[in-house]
Chain A
Amino acid sequence: MFQTGEGASLGTEAMPLHRSLGLTDEAMLGLYAKMTLTRALDDRLWALNRQGKAPLVASCQGVEAASLGVGLAAKEDGDCFLFPYYRDMALKLVFGITPMELVIGHLGKEGDSFNGGRQFLLQGASTDRPMIQTSNVVGSNLCQSVGYAIGCKILGEKTVTLVSFGDGGSSQGECHEAMNFAGVHKAPVVFVCYNNRLAISVPQEKQMAIKDLADRAAGYGFPGRVVDGTDLLEVYQNVKAAIERAREESGGPTFLEMKVERLRPHTSDDDDTRYRSAEDLEASKGRDPLVKLRSYLTNIGVLTTSQEERIRGEAREEVNRATEEAEKAEPPDPSTLMRHVYSP
């Protein structure tokens, strides 16, 4: 169940894995549509940056299956609270954030539902969604999420908190402090680390002396799992199990290391040709989560060519609609500058 690698969780032709996990063919098509939409939106945001309209874009290409799988498991559970990070677009779409909100967030227009045009893309809070993403100081959300989880426990609530971060964030001292504290208190929290092996330009071997970040969990007294983060179903299974464990009386935290890819430069401001070989990028593209899900669904006959075309067409239309609406929105009124420095 916790294996890693190509095709590890594909199931058999007679009983495809998704059905044994309780996911219908229809649900899988819905998830494929969501991932297709995520990709189309990401492409559009990159284009909006190149057009000079979106000041900064952090692409989520390569993380979609992991982020979608986390979102799916959390959404299905129905009682999870999220501390996501900046490449979690798929997760946000699962939790009902609309493409229009995502484009507005990137353009810094009026009507941004997370921060009123004060921060990068969907940082801030929308507690009814329910998620908090205070900043892009990587690793800062870890201790906060553990505090939130301990708060749920103090109040006798069954909510499980999920926090995501990258391999870069895992190097922060606060990551150690958060995991240690969570271990001591058996906090109902799931640590989701998206390891794309690059902290901007610094490769994994210069960030840590170990191959698998999941190994660190043992030092904090809870399980760590290596997960193929490009495989939606493997992610879903593992997150679901971790949420269940978090909630058990004798359970507590799980560390999930999602081996993901980075198919674009770090952000729209980055030039990855300065540090990344063409071969390495090609290898990453060979593990494209969208292609992987498409192959899986096509091979078992759940996704046909005509359905694929329809899904792509719908995604394109939705992205067009979202872009048009967002571009029509006004920028925030300068008079709002001084608002909300303090809470009443």
Chain B
Amino acid sequence: MTVKSVIEAVREAMREEMVADSRVMTLGEDVGARGGVFLATQGFVEEFGERRVIDTPLAEASIAGIALGLAFKGLRPIAEIQFSDFWWYAANQIIGEAARVCYGSNGVLPAPMVVRIPYGGGVRGGLFHSQNIESYLYNTPGLKVIAPSNPYDAKGLLKAAIRDNNPVVCLEHKKTYRGVRGEVPDGEYTLPIGVADVKREGADVTVISYGLALHYCLAAAEMMEDEGVSVEVLDLRTLRPLDKEGILASVRKTAKALIVHEANTTGGVGAEVSAIIGEEAFEDLDAPIMRLCGPDVPTMPFASTLEDAYMLNADKIRDALQKLAAY
């Protein structure tokens, strides 16, 4: 085991897969000499050459569309969209085309491609460097969406995504890139897409989250422990397909569920998780399902007071947990 940051784990996952499989390649803005703006592909062009590490024009629709064409040819492209805020141009190729092609060709044509998208706020990025886009992705059949919270999950899930025969969007929270460090095994491993992970065992309340918010949940759970409330923290890790069984198992154990995410409340992943619990574990519940999610404003604003008002933190989650525990 070695302690690594999320960005190091992401880089290592891609590098290992590129070494192991000559079909794996990457493309995106600044992924070449610059090594990506977050340095996810640092050293890649030197190691793998310009054919497998393609610096693209500043044009997201073509980054996704060309990745899809490469996948049709039998390559395994990893496209990097520099910031989630710029992904909208690529939506046609990712949601409109890639996610539909296997179904639309009656299973003849798979689309094995990965689209890595740094996302999320709390970095003073303002409206166009902070967006949470998961609600627009996770409801798309044909697409898989992973959103790891730590280096171990990021590496294992990204490697699985690269080997998957379907289009997979990997959402990487920018603030976790260097802000979250953790142990990563030195040997080869992958993690299954679609399986949630209990990050902290507990008995009284379940808090369900993913990405950066997961860490605030862990901190809040720690605070609650001092107050005598045992909180279970479930990391979804994959947003599509959601791990129904994992969600239900935890909620049946604690009988209380709080869903926490940075993305807007309305129509967010939390709405679906809530529906799953409501439909299948209603009789196991001792309290209404609660959500603590982003307020319904377009994105967290730039000014620190406004951004802080939007963003989650451990205190806000503790407050919600107290309310739920007391119900």
A340, B69: Cβ atoms closer than 8 Å? no
A125, B109: Cβ atoms closer than 8 Å? yes
**Is B100 close to A, CB under 8 A?**
yes
In the complex formed, the residue of A with least CB distance to B108 is A125
Which of A145, A177, A181, A340 interacts with B103 by CB under 8 Å?
A340
A147, B107: Cβ atoms closer than 8 Å? no
**Is A14 close to B, CB under 8 A?**
no
Interface residues on B, range: 35 or more
- In Å, the complex CA distance between A153 and B107 comes to 26
Which of B66, B74, B77, B141 interacts with A143 by CB under 8 Å?
B66
**Is A165 close to B, CB under 8 A?**
no
Which of B59, B112, B142 interacts with A180 by CB under 8 Å?
B59
In the complex formed, the residue of A with least CB distance to B144 is A342
A344, B68: Cβ atoms closer than 8 Å? no
**Is A308 close to B, CB under 8 A?**
no
CB distance from B61 to the nearest CB of A (A): 5
- In Å, the complex CA distance between A279 and B103 comes to 44
In the complex formed, the residue of A with least CB distance to B66 is A147
- In Å, the complex CA distance between A115 and B103 comes to 8
- In Å, the complex CA distance between A124 and B103 comes to 9
Interface residues on A, range: 35 or more
A341 and B72 in contact, given A135-B97, A154-B51, A177-B59 (Cβ under 8 angstroms) = no
CB distance from A109 to the nearest CB of B (A): 13
A144, B105: Cβ atoms closer than 8 Å? no
- In Å, the complex CA distance between A119 and B71 comes to 21
- In Å, the complex CA distance between A110 and B123 comes to 54
Most A CB contacts (10 A, CB to CB) among B51, B64, B109 go to: B109
**Is B104 close to A, CB under 8 A?**
yes
In the complex formed, the residue of B with least CB distance to A159 is B73
- In Å, the complex CA distance between A343 and B108 comes to 9
Q: In chain A between 126 and 174, which residues have their CB closer than 8 angstroms to a CB of chain B? A: 126-127, 132, 134-135, 137, 140, 142-155, 173-174
**Is A229 close to B, CB under 8 A?**
no
- Can you list 19 contacts pairing A with B, beta carbon distance less than 8 Å? A115-B105, A115-B106, A118-B106, A119-B104, A125-B105, A125-B108, A137-B96, A142-B65, A143-B64, A143-B65, A143-B69, A144-B72, A151-B69, A151-B74, A181-B62, A339-B106, A341-B103, A343-B107, A343-B111
Residues of chain B whose beta carbon lies under 8 Å from any beta carbon of chain A: 25, 51-52, 54, 56-57, 59, 61-62, 64-75, 77, 89, 92-93, 96-97, 100-112, 141-142, 144, 165-166
Residues of chain A whose beta carbon lies under 8 Å from any beta carbon of chain B: 112, 114-116, 118-119, 123-127, 132, 134-135, 137, 140, 142-155, 173-174, 177-178, 180-181, 184, 339-344
